[in-house]
Amino acid sequence: MSVIDKKKALVTGASRGIGKAVALTLASLGYDLYMTCHKNSGLLNRLAEEFQEKYQIKCKCYTFPICDEEKVAKMFQDIPYLDILINNAGISYIGLLTDMTYKEWQEVIDTNLNACFLTCRAAVPEMVRRRRGKIINISSVWGNIGASTEVAYSASKGGVNAFTRALAKELGPSNIQVNAIACGVIDTDMNRCFDKEEMNMLIQEIPSDRMGRPDEVAELVKLLCTGNEYLTGQVITLDGGWT
């Protein structure tokens, strides 16, 4: 495979949880990786070293808020093209809407939704020129149905779902597939905010009787990356049968 044909992927929020599992899966498939995180630069760099040694790929790491327009643009100066874009970075806020400050609201919307705009805007022109590419947005079941005390998070993920469907229609003629995965309760640090009793109550509502695993999300990402090119504009729910 020539250098110009080397497969390349960007994974945002790659230092842990779903992003880490997705990055590992793509590394195992031979993708050179661009990985971002907000703060965990040491952890991200160690992952990059591990992937490079084990899978003989190249990794570049970036630590900044993924909603920073200037830093996203600067990062893309290093990226000649992408075959795969994984918009995974996300944050949550749990609490009453009336207790939420506007700054907190903006941070959730910026990180979960506006960042998708920034990365897609930067990645799409070269995908269109090459007439190939896949964009996968990591969403949530709360974007489908909404959650009490998670209004901002639900709104941001609902926006991601609509963004996915609309962009898929826009990019379909260029042979670029855009899909989202609406995750249920996945065993990640984001859900460590629940105590044991609250988590048990959540699990009791899931027909599969357990939380999902990050590697199960990554496996679905793998299918979307390597599979049917006619599948686009879909928000695929992965929640153990909960909805």
Catalytic residue positions, numbered: 153
Taken in order 47, 9, 81, 89, the sign of the CA dihedral is negative
Phi, psi of 75 (to 5 degrees): -60, -45
3-state SS, one letter per residue, for 130-161:
HCCEEEEEEEECHHHHCCCCCHHHHHHHHHHH
Place of tokens 């992927």: 9
H/E element, 123: helix 115-130
Residue 36 · residue 43 · CB < 8 Å: no
Q: Kindly tell me the sign of the dihedral angle through the C-alpha atoms of 45, 47, 50, 51.
A: negative
How many C-beta neighbours within 10 Å does residue 93 have? 18
